[in-house]
Amino acid sequence: MSKDMVLIQDPMAIFAYLSAIVGIVFMLSTIDNRFLRTFFRYAPPLIWMYFLPMLSTTFGIIPQSSDLYSFLSTYILPAGLLLLMISTNVPATFKLGGKAVVLFLAGTFGVVIGGPIAFALFQGMLPEEAWRGVGALAGSWIGGSANMGAMIEAFHTPDDILSPVILTDTLVGISWMGVMIALANFQDKFNRWNGADNSTIKQVNADIATDIEKNIKPLQLPQLFGILGVGVAGSYIIRVFADMDFIPKSDVMNTSTWTFILITAVGIALSFTKVRNLEYYGASKIGYLGIYLFLTGIGAQANLADVVQAPQFILMGAVWLAIHIICIFIAARLLKAPLFFVAVGSQGNIGGTSSAPIVASVFQPALAPVGLLMGILGNIVGTYAALLCGQLARMIAGG
């Protein structure tokens, strides 16, 4: 669709539109109505944070690309994540054990083997150098966009391959996130079927929530400005520091990656200080506001009309993701792991630092930082795992 045909083009107007979507959806979800309660139980508000902006782009209400979307990912997302991290109850979180990491690695294995298998199945329908796109998509599906950028450079992915790969990444990846969010309503049933002991997760979540309930205080202007100062100014200072020349950079360890790593470290450090008391005034809630706005920007960058341009890539991506899902659920079955660990393990791979905390918070509201830590782990292992995946696809292609 031509840019001139888009109804809303001014970045501030787009921001107002996306903010209205967030506000209206969440207000509707709080109305005491039987139909709405049932509706949002099976289609939680976060799904609509993606889907409604996607529909808006498809029907020409807002553009598929805008400076606003870059602003949301560069500045608003880090601010929201920092506010989440300072609210972390680290001692309680460590009680969860190591199953989340094992499930994450099982998901990584599924991505590494799934790419070459799906590529082999659809190779006859794909362009000659499509294996280079497999390497790029593997980077995104093991850690996020920073790793994808590195793999694009490593495999010299051409533009005509990259465009459908990005579309596949957006549509297939977002669809899986929506499924995971919806599955949160069935985690108790899954855990009973799987013989999983979810008591530790529930206890940790309850302990953290109880601590907040006992100490919650009404939000007043000094604390509000304190929260905004820590989140916005703190994350900006961290980004500026991450961009300095003495910080070692590479294709993967770029400014964005360092920003997320430093935000995690600084946020955890601050959680042991009195700064964490800002959580009693609602710091994490304001953090979530920033993250939800970021998610609307992600949804707005996908256009459902583009599916017809690359159906073979979409199909390959769907088979690939299915292999990842099979691997992580087999691991969950063998370990008798609860669905929460499946969710954060999968999204730490497929979604990375941006969406893993969101999915974690839907399952257990107080445990969003666990999702962020899984996303950081994805940044670390993603380079090597994606390189291996791309090389396997290259071997299949005979390159």
Delimit the domains of the chain by residue range.
69-397
pLDDT > 90? residue 19: yes
pLDDT of residue 373: 74
Q: Distance of CA 253 to CAs 75, 147, 261, 352, 389, Å?
A: 18, 9, 10, 14, 19
Position 116 scores a pLDDT of 94
Is the pLDDT at 236 greater than 90? The verdict is: yes
pLDDT of residue 397 exceeding 90, the answer is no
Q: What is the pLDDT of residue 253?
A: 66
Q: Above 70 in pLDDT, residue 1? A: no
Q: Are 289 and 21 in contact (CB under 8 A)?
A: no
Query: What 3-state DSSP class applies to 7?
Result: coil
Q: What is the mean pLDDT of residues 11-17?
A: 95
pLDDT at position 149 is 65
pLDDT greater at residue 109 or residue 260: 109
State the Cα angle at 261 between 227 and 345, rounded to 5°: 100
Residue with tokens 């009693």: 280
Quote the CA–CA distance of 6 and 8 in Å, as a whole number. Answer: 6
Q: Which of 68-82, 149-163, 189-203, 337-351 has the lowest mean pLDDT?
A: 149-163
pLDDT of residue 249 exceeding 90? no
Q: Which of 227-231, 238-242, 335-339, 359-363 has the lowest mean pLDDT?
A: 359-363
Mean pLDDT of 94-117: 88
pLDDT of residue 329: 95
**Which two structure tokens, joined as six digits, stand for 258?**
């360092």
Helix orientation angle between 11-29 and 34-42, rounded to the nearest 10 degrees: 120
pLDDT at 259: 84
Length of the chain: 399
| Count of helix runs (H) and strand runs (E) in the chain | 20, 0
Question: Which carries the bigger pLDDT value, residue 140 or residue 326?
Answer: 326
pLDDT of residue 86: 87
| Burial tier of 369 (Cβ tally within 10 Å: 0-12, 13-18, 19+) | buried
- Average pLDDT for residues 49-69, to the nearest whole number? 88
Supply the mean pLDDT for the chain: 84
- Between 194 and 202, name the one with better pLDDT: 194
* CA-closest candidate to residue 314, choices 180, 176, 183, 182: 176
The mean pLDDT of 7-17, rounded to a whole number, is 93
Residue 337 reports pLDDT greater than 80: yes
How confident is the model at residue 3, as a pLDDT?
60
pLDDT at 28: 92
Query: Confidence band (pLDDT; 50, 70, 90) for 208?
Result: confident
Q: Are 339 and 160 in contact (CB under 8 A)?
A: no
Query: Which residues in the chain belong to E strands, given as ranges?
Result: none
Q: Which of 19-28, 210-219, 299-308 is predicted least confidently?
A: 299-308
Q: Does the pLDDT at position 45 exceed 90?
A: no
pTM, 2 dp: 0.70
